[in-house]
Amino acid sequence: MNRTASLRAVGQSVWLDNITRDLLDSGKLKHYIDELSVTGLTSNPSIYDKAIGGSSSYDEQIRRLHADGAKAEEIFFELALDDLRRAADLFRPVFDRTDGVDGFVSLEVSPLLADDSATTATDAARLHALADRPNFFIKIPGTAAGLKAIEESVLAGVPVNVTLLFSTEQYLAAAEAYTRAIERRIEAGLNPYVPSVASVFVSRWDGPIAGALPDDLRLKLGIATAQMTYNAYTEFIHSDRWARLTNEGARPQRLLWASTGTKDKAASDVLYIEALAAPLTVNTMPEETLLAFADHGNVPSVLQARADLPDPALMAGFTAAGVDLDDLARRLQEAGVESFNGAWRSLLSRIEQCAAAASAAH
């Protein structure tokens, strides 16, 4: 068994947090599927900003779409949909084999819509229809406005990847929105299964406070909050409420670990992967983290609900160091929205620059 397959063996799906046209054209994504147990992928504005800026593979399509009068945002979604449809087709055997549990790709709605729930829901439905693939998630941030859009989107049958969740409370709010939508579908006599994942960001917890913590607390908050969230997740999906929904044919939303690349170069490059091996979860990891785990990662233990709750003394240490977990979670989510907004604007600007350069060359 290869190292990445060991994650699958404990019941965790391995996804790639990356997409580029070169990754598709070179056959590298197919290799990751065949050899490294990759069963899905995620994308975001930052990934596409780097992809378009780092390759000429998109230039001709950008030039052609621009010549046809398409605006930068329209051009982006054309490019991304083309890539992600191809990726979804590569993952379709996984989707079919797991009866719609695994094998998904993800595309994010414009992050500029984060405070507009109605437009977000409308755009999510539009993008999913354009994708024309059953194994296609639309990413919606788990902000206050986003939660309303998530419930309405799932009610409409749109598979949703809830993004930018950080704390247990934020996860539970997303799970509640998803569950209400499923209950409403059952009441309306609709199919009770609409796939969804709730993406909890891990490593970002450790960056903002690194300099304010004693050495014995460094790089431990992200894993601790993930452990608490996993416990809440397993309790929620094994509740009487979900037992009733399962009896109607529903399936729970799955928990996804995001932001699992190690940003501290002095730490293990597979720190968050090894710490968060857990059944009924997904781990979407950057390409370099995937390759690092394939080379030297292992699964020292499997995360267990309740048994692996963080030591109360550890959490007390964060409090004593002045860390307000609720406030930090709120600030991390707000910063995540701003970061995606910045990447989105950079992406559209890059497309406009590519379109102008390509047009000048012709």
- Residues catalogued as catalytic: 139
| Largest Cα span, the chain | 66
User: 256 in helix, strand or coil?
Assistant: strand
Q: Mind spelling out the 3-state secondary structure of 87-111? A: HHHHHHHHHHHCCCCCCCEEEECCH
Give the residue carrying structure tokens 């055997």. Answer: 93
| Sequence-separated (6 or more) residues with CB below 8 Å from residue 72 | 348, 349, 351, 352, 355
- The per-residue DSSP string of 11-38 comes to TEEEEES---HHHHHTTHHHHHHHHS-E
Alpha carbons 29 and 35: distance in angstroms, whole number:
10
What number of H helices and E strands is found in the chain?
A: 15, 8
Helix axes 144-155, 168-187, angle to 10 degrees: 30
Alpha carbons 241 and 244: distance in angstroms, whole number:
5
Question: Residue 127 has which token pair?
Answer: 């993008």
Task: Say if CB 108 and CB 139 are below 8 A apart.
Answer: yes
Alpha carbons 232 and 226: distance in angstroms, whole number:
10
Phi, psi torsion values for 215, nearest 5 degrees: -55, -35
